[in-house]
Structure 1
């Protein structure tokens, strides 16, 4: 079924905001203006936008070290998110978490995670609490990369989630690279979603450049989870445009290869290809002028967030040990 033009534009705005945010963060990091480490989500915008577009604010997500896109798609406060990356007191974690440890519980964003595969059991725990203890219909989503699929925590969480029919969605962002290693060299299966069969979990492969395809798969999985039918595995075939981290020398792949794959997997080009003419995805054609206006709106929001961050104070030295578990 086609979705409304309004919903399509909402998805596009999330994609644009993620791209604008990441490009500014990259620029600022290269200029030496940001502390810590930065892993960018450029090229994968349709995955987070499509998945989170099918969720309610009360639902939960668990992210990864490449988590900016997930945060924005779930509705994290953009100003406080930018302030967190700048290490400012007004940040979502008071400037103490930085890029890899952003969380915004108010919108169900349970946290980015610097530990590869660290989010599985946290998301499963949230799903367990909601379904078996609190008895509500909230859904949990855990995002993870192709490299993280080989961690033992995945198999633990997948097994218990299926055995107890937990309302959780496993979203594998297969961007082709586990840090510097192509996933085919360390993974025996052709598709990572093949793992789901071992746990009697339904799985679906979607194009990570097509936000509508991702959204529809997520909507089906959410409906299934809310009905108490258990977990779903979604594998989104996408592409990591940037290196593993900003300033990655990328000696493991050529720029020609990256440029070719980027062109083939561009979610913005795919969106425009679909919506600028009559189509089955959206109930009304969208114009180039409407898309340009959304780009500009997203650009201005990100600049406003940067201004907020730059004008915010750094944490007071005496507060450095506050909020630390002893």
Structure 2
């Protein structure tokens, strides 16, 4: 989706509502094909609310996106509207409330959007309600290439991560399939880029579902293609995540995220495996995630100087 400076963008979930309470925040992770049909149905039924154009876009499984397009740019602070997702089942959805006067307009349209969508979806067994998250406008962020001097390619099957990569100027071709297809795409597109962001989604999904065995299986699937990635002879290889999602907790957690960095300049030999406990012994220690790319640059010989 292309965003304008008049737009407010939302990431949304199809969900299951029963007796006024959220029974399933992800509508049973409905198939992408079903999600696409429901999103098309919403678009047919809702294309304007008041003065704003409403644009829907299907994602993967239960996720979809909405853009509220106003006729003019909004005032600063206009997106300060709370998420409607209660983050727990058995709770009522949270009404979209403005946090200031500027955001009253957006909150009013969001409230009408939920009401109209609920009427369209009322006969659905699972995806009968929508949850709205992350009211946002296009941020002013320098491109990845401007910040780090690296031309970057994002390889992700999940649309949200392609969208995030596009925000910082990475090339974001549509890639379908799973880890095997992503690896093949990487092999076929090594020329012309300095940095590759390869994203695997399902470890997070299975963690949120509490499915330990499936999460382990997905990690082992990545282990199976790792020799092929190493055979591409990267200057630096980093394996990490954006947050921890333990299957025991069934959600995001506060635990430090394991980071593996491979280069000829790593001291190493302090930890033996890539696990949470072994990583506490590693030479990198616990550090802010903002330090990852500078470390990659240093280990690839692309920094003039590390530190002051």
TM normalised by structure 2 equals 0.34
Larger Rg: 2
Structure 1 or 2: larger helix share?
1
Higher relative contact order at CA 8 Å, sep ≥6: structure 1 or structure 2?
1
TM normalised by structure 1 equals 0.33
